[in-house]
Amino acid sequence: MGTCRHEDMDGCWAELARLGKDRNPYRAGFVQFVGVAETREQAMELYREPAVYFYGRCLHVDAKWATPPGYVTEATQVAGMKSQVAAAADG
C-alpha cells in the first residue's frame, strides 16, 4: 500500500539543523497506520473504520492545549502568523 521514505522526516531534520539541534530520533515522531490482510480489499474492509476513527478523531487537539502560554516563543508565533498570511494571500 504505502512505504515510509526517509524523506518523510526531511522537514523535521532541516528545522532541527536550523535550530542547531542534533538529529536525535527522540526529537521526532512519525505515525503510520499499517493494516495487514491477504488482499487490499480485505485490508480496507478490516481497517477502514479504525483508520478513519484514528485520523479523524484522535489527532485533533483543542487549541488551548496546542500552544499553551510559555511553550511557544515569540519568534515561533510570528513565523506562524506570517505563514498563515502568506497562505491566505496565495489562496
Q: Name residues whose C-beta falls within 8 Å of residue 43's C-beta, 6 or more positions apart in sequence.
A: 1, 35, 36, 37
State the cell numbers at 46. Answer: 478490516
Overall pTM surpassing 0.85 (yes/no): no
| 4-58 tens-digit pLDDT | 456 668 888 888 889 898 888 887 777 777 889 999 999 999 999 998 998 888 8
